[in-house]
Structure 1
Amino acid sequence: MKLLRIFMRILYAWPDKIIDNNPSKYASYGKCYIFFIEFICLPPGILYIKRSIGSISFLDLGRTYITVFMNVVAALRLILIFLKRFEKIVVDFINKIHLFNHRNRSEYAMQTHILVHKVSHFCSIYTCLAMIFGIILFTCTPLYNNIVSGAFYNYKTTNVTFEHSVYYQLPFDYEHDIRGYITLFMFNWYITLICSSCFSTFDWLMALMIFHVWGHLQILIHSLENFRRPATKHGEIGEWYSEEEMKLVSSELKELVTYHNLIIEFTSRMKEIFGPVMILYYTFHVVSGCILLLECSQMDSVALIRYGSLTFLMLQQLVQVSVVFELLGTTSYKLINAVYSVPWECMDNSNRRMVYLMMIQSQRMLAIKAMDMVNVGVETMAAIIKTSVSYFIMLRTLSELD
C-alpha cells in the first residue's frame, strides 16, 4: 500500500483529503496539470502521423501509432482522478474491503489475510520493476542507437539524424539539432513516466482490489462450508437445531448475508467505474498487438531491439490483468456450492428464507464485465490475441502484395 500510494501520488490519484491528515493544498491543481501535460501530447503526435504518411513507411511509423494510442488510453484513464466515485471506492477499499480490517474475524480469515498480503506484495514489486524496466528500455534504446550510429560525435554536421522514443510535430528541429534533441529527450523521459504510471498504477490498483475481494470470497466460502450443525438429533425427525441453536444460526446467517452484500456491492461499483477503462484497454491491445507483431515480423536486429521488448511488456500486461480478473469468475462457482452445503434442512422457515436469499444472490456471477458487454478474463484475452494475429496476417499479406 505504501508503494501504491507513492505511484498514485505521481498522478495525484491518491485521496489525500479523506485518508491523510495533511492533504495537499495543490492536489486539484496537480490533477489539472497532469491531465493537461498528458493531453497536450496528443495533437502534436497526430499531426506528426498526418505529416509523415506517404513520406515515411508504415513500419517506421509504427512506434508513433502505438505511442499515440497509449496517449489516448492514458489521458482517458486520468479522467478517473477527477471523479468523486473513484475517490470513494479507493477510500472504501482501504477502510472497509482491505483484509487487514477483517483479519480478526476468524483464524482462517487471518490465514487468508497473510496469503493475500504476500500475493499483493509480490504483485506490487513485480509491477514496479516491470514499469521501471519498461521506461528504461523504451527511452534508452533510441539513446543507445544514437551512440552506436555516432550521432553525438558528429552532431555539428548536417547529415546527422537523432532517433527519439516519441515523435511529435513541433516548431523546432529535434532530429538534427542537438539542442532540440536534448529538449525533447528530457521531455520524453518525463511523459513516459506519466504514461507508464497511468497504465501500471490503475492496473495495479484493480489487481489489489481483485485479490482482496477474492480473499473475502474465500472467507465466506469457508464460513458456509463449515457452518455449525445441530449438536444432537431429535427423535424421528433426525437432525434439527434446538431453540438456542436456532437463535445463533439466525445471527450467523444475518452476518453472512451482510458480508456477502458487502462483497456484491463493492464488486458492482468496480464494474461501474472500471468497466469503461477495460473496454478501452482491450481495444488498445487489439490495435497495438497487431502493429507490434507487424513491426517484429521484419525479424532484423533493429526491429527486434526496438519492438520486441515492447511487445513482450504489452502481452504480459494483458495476460496479467486478464488472469487476475479471472479469479472472481472461478470463485463465484465455488460460492454457489458452498451456499447449498449449508444445513438448511435443519432450520426453521425464517432461517431457510435467509439461506434461499443467499442462494439467489450467489447465482449472480461476480466476474467483472467491461460496460456489461465483455467479460474481463482469460477467454477475452485469448480472443484479443487471436484477433491481433488475424489482423497481423492480413496486413502482412497486403504489404507483401504491395
Structure 2
Amino acid sequence: MEDSVKDVFELGYMRMIRFSLSTIAQWPNKNFGTKTRAARIQSGYHYILVTIIVVGECSCALYLWRNRKILDFFNIGHVYGNILMTALLIQRITLNFQNKYCSVLKKFASEFHLMHHAHKSDFAAKEHSRINRFCKIVTIVNHVQVACGLPMYLGVPHFNNIRAGMFSENRPANKTFEQSVYYELPFDCTTDVTGYYIMFFYNWYPAYNVCAAMCIIDVTIFVIVFHILGHLNVLMHNMKYFPRPSDENEQSEREYNEQAFGLLKDLVQHYQIIKEFMSDTSSAFDMTLFVYLAFHQLNGCVLLLELSSMKAEAIIKYGLLTFFTFQQLIQTSVIFEQISSKSEQLAHKVYGLPWELMDTKNRKIVLLLFTDVQKKLALKVCSIVPVGVTTMSAIIKTTISYFMLLNTIAK
C-alpha cells in the first residue's frame, strides 16, 4: 500500500520521524517552506528548549561540584552519566541551527529518497519497496525504545522511594529522596515531598528530550543510510545486467555503442549523485557522529560501573539503559559498515562491464568510472575516521578497559 503513494510524507515512517523531530524542534520547517502556526511555534520553542537544557546542564554540573566530597563513587557515576547524556542532547538540539543539516533533510526528502527513482526500472521499484520495509521496522523499534526507556529510567528511583518508605508517616531517619536527575536548586527536593514531586514531574521533560534526541535522530540517520544502500544496490544491479551486443555486424555494433554510451552516462550520473549526497551527509553529521562516539566511549564506562554493584535496583535501572546504549552503538556501526561493504563491490561490478566489446570512447568512460569507484565510500567522523565495525570494536574494548580500571579504584 505504501509503495503506491506519491508523496514521501505519506509514508508512515517518514510521518513518524517528522512528528518526533518536531517535538524536539529539529524538523527544518523553514527549508520545506512550511509557514503554519505550528511551524512558527516550533521555531520559537527551539530557543526555549536550548536555554532550558543548557541551564539544566549547568545546574547538574554545579550540584556535582558542590557535593563532590559527600557523594559516593557510584552516585558520582550516576551524575556523570546524566551530564554526558545532556551534553549529547545539547549537541543534537542545535542541529536545526545548522544549514548543512537542514539542507540534507530537504535534499533527502525531495530528491534522494528512492520514491523519486522507483519509476526508472522494475528493480528500482522493488528496492524501494524493500528499503521502505526496513525503514519502517527500524523506525518503530527506535520509537519503542523511547517509550520503554523513559518510564524505566524515571520510574525506578520513584519505586525505590516507595519501597524505602519515604512517603509513609514514619519516614526512615537520615534518608533522602532518590531522583533520576540531580540539580543544584534553591529549594529542597531531597527531604521535602513537595520539592521531590516538583522535580520528579519536571525530570520527564529533559528525559524525553534525551531519549528522543538519541533515538529519533539516530533513526533519521539510519533511514538516510538505508536509502544510500538502496541506491548502491540499484547501481550495481544496472552494472550486473548491462546489455551486450546481439550480433557482430557493423550496424549492430554502432547501435550498441550508442546505447552503451547512454547507459554508461546514466551509471556515471547515478554514482555522482550517490557520492555527492554522501559527502553532504558526512558534512552535516560529522560532528554529531564525533560526539556520539565520544559519548559511547565515556558513558559506556559509567553504565558498566553502575551495574557492577549487581544490586537489583541497579540492574533494573541501568540494565535496560545499558542494553539500549550498546545496542544503538552496534546497530549504528553495522548499518554504516554496509556502505563500506557495498562500496568495495563497486570496482568488481565496473570491471565486469563488457568494456572489451565497446569502442574507444566508451572504454574511456568505463576507465574513468573504474578509477572513481576505487575511492571507498564511507560516512566519516569529522571527515577522518569512517564509522563501522572496526571503530565500534575499538570503542567497546577501550570502554571495558576503562571500566575495569574505574572498578578497581572504586573498590
Q: In which range does the TM-score fall when normalised by the shorter chain?
A: over 0.9
Q: Is 2:110 aligned against 1:95? A: yes
2:274 corresponds to: 263
1:388–1:241 Cα change, 3 Å? farther
Contact residue 57 and residue 87 of structure 2 kept, 8 A? yes
- Taking the aligned partners of 1:20 and 1:153, their CA distance within structure 2 comes to 55
Secondary structure of the structure 2 residue equivalent to 1:56 = coil
- Taking the aligned partners of 1:43 and 1:367, their CA distance within structure 2 comes to 36
Structure 1 residues 331-350: aligned runs within 5 Å: 331-350=342-361
Shift of 1:155: 8.3
Runs of 4+ aligned structure 1 residues displaced above 6 Å come to: 155-158
1:34–1:234 Cα change, 3 Å? same
Secondary structure of the structure 1 residue equivalent to 2:40 = coil
Secondary structure of the structure 1 residue equivalent to 2:118 = coil
- Taking the aligned partners of 1:52 and 1:336, their CA distance within structure 2 comes to 59
- Taking the aligned partners of 1:16 and 1:272, their CA distance within structure 2 comes to 20
2:197 corresponds to: 182
- Taking the aligned partners of 1:384 and 1:67, their CA distance within structure 2 comes to 20
Q: Is 2:19 aligned against 1:19? A: no
- 1:167-220 CA distance string (max 9 Å, x none): 011111011111111111111001111111111121111000000000000000
1:259–1:177 Cα change, 3 Å? same
Unaligned runs of 5+ in 2: 1-13
1:142 corresponds to: 157
Contact residue 325 and residue 377 of structure 1 kept, 8 A? yes
Contact residue 154 and residue 160 of structure 1 kept, 8 A? no
Structure 1 residues 88-127: aligned runs within 5 Å: 88-127=103-142
> Which AA in structure 1 matches 2:348?
N
Q: Is 2:300 aligned against 1:300? A: no
2:392 corresponds to: 381
Contact residue 8 and residue 14 of structure 1 kept, 8 A? yes
Shift of 1:234: 4.5
2:248 corresponds to: 233
- Taking the aligned partners of 1:319 and 1:225, their CA distance within structure 2 comes to 31
> Which AA in structure 2 matches 1:130?
Q
> Which AA in structure 2 matches 1:19?
F
- 1:121-165 CA distance string (max 9 Å, x none): 000000000111011111111111112112122388875521111
Contact residue 275 and residue 370 of structure 1 kept, 8 A? yes
Contact residue 221 and residue 335 of structure 1 kept, 8 A? yes
- Taking the aligned partners of 2:111 and 2:268, their CA distance within structure 1 comes to 16
Q: Is 2:53 aligned against 1:38? A: yes
- Taking the aligned partners of 1:191 and 1:27, their CA distance within structure 2 comes to 17
- Taking the aligned partners of 1:44 and 1:389, their CA distance within structure 2 comes to 30
- 1:39-75 CA distance string (max 9 Å, x none): 1111111011111212111112221100101111110
> Which AA in structure 2 matches 1:359?
F
> Which AA in structure 1 matches 2:22?
R
- Taking the aligned partners of 1:369 and 1:148, their CA distance within structure 2 comes to 48
> Which AA in structure 2 matches 1:129?
V
1:311–1:21 Cα change, 3 Å? closer
1:392 corresponds to: 403
Unaligned runs of 5+ in 1: none
- Taking the aligned partners of 2:48 and 2:232, their CA distance within structure 1 comes to 39
Shift of 1:230: 0.9
Secondary structure of the structure 1 residue equivalent to 2:378 = coil
- Taking the aligned partners of 2:295 and 2:334, their CA distance within structure 1 comes to 18
- Taking the aligned partners of 2:176 and 2:170, their CA distance within structure 1 comes to 8
> Which AA in structure 1 matches 2:236?
I
2:286 corresponds to: 275
Q: 2:101 aligns with which of 86, 89, 114?
A: 86
- 1:10-48 CA distance string (max 9 Å, x none): 122212234365432234312212211221111111011
Secondary structure of the structure 2 residue equivalent to 1:19 = coil
Q: 1:288 aligns with which of 299, 317, 330?
A: 299
Shift of 1:305: 2.0
288-297 or 260-269: which moved more? 288-297
> Which AA in structure 2 matches 1:339?
V
Shift of 1:382: 0.9
1:66 corresponds to: 81
- Taking the aligned partners of 1:165 and 1:344, their CA distance within structure 2 comes to 64
Shift of 1:372: 2.5
Secondary structure of the structure 2 residue equivalent to 1:174 = coil
- Tell me how large the CA RMSD over aligned residues is: 1.7
- Taking the aligned partners of 2:402 and 2:21, their CA distance within structure 1 comes to 35
Q: 2:379 aligns with which of 368, 383, 397?
A: 368
Contact residue 241 and residue 346 of structure 1 kept, 8 A? no
Contact residue 155 and residue 178 of structure 1 kept, 8 A? no
Secondary structure of the structure 2 residue equivalent to 1:17 = coil
Q: 1:7 aligns with which of 9, 17, 20?
A: 20
2:226 corresponds to: 211
Contact residue 155 and residue 176 of structure 1 kept, 8 A? no
- Taking the aligned partners of 1:30 and 1:232, their CA distance within structure 2 comes to 67
Contact residue 38 and residue 195 of structure 1 kept, 8 A? no
> Which AA in structure 2 matches 1:71?
T
- Taking the aligned partners of 2:173 and 2:307, their CA distance within structure 1 comes to 31
- Taking the aligned partners of 2:252 and 2:148, their CA distance within structure 1 comes to 60
